[in-house]
Structure 1
Amino acid sequence: MSAEEADPPESGEESDALLVGELTLVGRITDASNATLVCDAVLGESIVRCVYKPIRGERALWDFPDGTLAGREYASYLVSEQLGWSVIPRTVLREGPFGRGMVQRWVDTADRHGNGAAGLDLVDICSPETVPPGWFEILQASDMDGNPIVLIHADDPRLQRMAVLDVLINNADRKGGHALEGLDGAVYGVDHGICLHTENKLRTVLWGWAGTRVPEALVADIVGLISSLEGNFAAVLGEHITADEVVALYERAVDLVAAPVMPRPSGRRPIPWPAF
Structure 2
Amino acid sequence: MSATDLVTAELTITGRITTASNATFLGAIGDVVVVYKPRAGESPLWDFPSGTLAQREVAAYLVSQTLGWGVVPQTWLRDGPLGEGMVQLWQEPDPDHSAVDVVASDDVPEAGWKHVLEGEDERGRLVTLVHEDSPALRRMAVFDALVNNADRKGGHILAMTDGHRYGVDHGLTFHPEHKLRTILWGWVGEALSAEELDGIDRVSEGLDGELGRDLAELLGAEEIGALAARCARLRSVGRFPAPAGEMSPVPWPLF
State the TM bucket, normalised to the shorter chain. Answer: over 0.9
Q: In structure 1, list runs of 5 or more residues that go unmatched.
A: 1-12, 113-119
Aligned to 2:190: 212
Deviations 1:104-125 (A, max 9, x none): 011111111xxxxxxx511111
CA distance in 2, matches of 1:21, 1:126: 45
TM-score (normalizing by structure 2) = 0.95
CA distance in 2, matches of 1:171, 1:64: 12
Deviations 1:135-169 (A, max 9, x none): 11212111112222111101011001000000000
| Partner secondary structure for residue 84 of structure 2 | strand
| Partner secondary structure for residue 13 of structure 2 | strand
CA distance in 2, matches of 1:82, 1:256: 16
State the one-letter code of the partner of 1:39. Answer: G
| Partner secondary structure for residue 104 of structure 1 | strand
Give how far 1:171 is off.
0.2
Runs of 4+ in 1 over 4 A off after TM superposition: 14-17
CA distance in 2, matches of 1:186, 1:22: 30
Aligned to 1:185: 163
Alignment of 1:125-274 (within 5 A): 125-134=102-111, 135-266=113-244, 267-274=246-253
Q: Would the alpha carbon gap of residues 247 and 220 (structure 1) be closer, same or farther in structure 2, given more than 3 Å must change?
A: same
Aligned to 2:39: 55
The answer as to whether partners of 1:138 and 1:151 remain within 8 angstroms in 2 is yes
Matched positions, count: 253
The answer as to whether partners of 1:38 and 1:49 remain within 8 angstroms in 2 is yes
| Partner secondary structure for residue 248 of structure 1 | helix
State the one-letter code of the partner of 1:59. Answer: S
Among 96, 100, 104, the alignment partner of 2:80 is 96
Deviations 1:210-249 (A, max 9, x none): 1111111110121122111122421210110101100110
Deviations 1:63-105 (A, max 9, x none): 1111000000000100110111110000010000000000001
Aligned to 1:82: 66
The answer as to whether partners of 2:62 and 2:211 remain within 8 angstroms in 1 is no
CA distance in 1, matches of 2:18, 2:28: 18
CA distance in 2, matches of 1:269, 1:110: 30
State the one-letter code of the partner of 1:190. Answer: V
Q: Quick check: 1:36 aligned with 2:24? A: yes
Coordinate RMSD, CA, aligned: 1.3
The answer as to whether partners of 1:124 and 1:152 remain within 8 angstroms in 2 is yes
Deviations 1:11-61 (A, max 9, x none): xx165553333222121111211000011111xxxx111110000000011
CA distance in 2, matches of 1:24, 1:33: 21
The answer as to whether partners of 1:18 and 1:50 remain within 8 angstroms in 2 is no
Q: Identity over the aligned pairs, expressed in percent?
A: 47
Aligned to 1:108: 92
Aligned to 1:115: none
State the one-letter code of the partner of 1:203. Answer: R
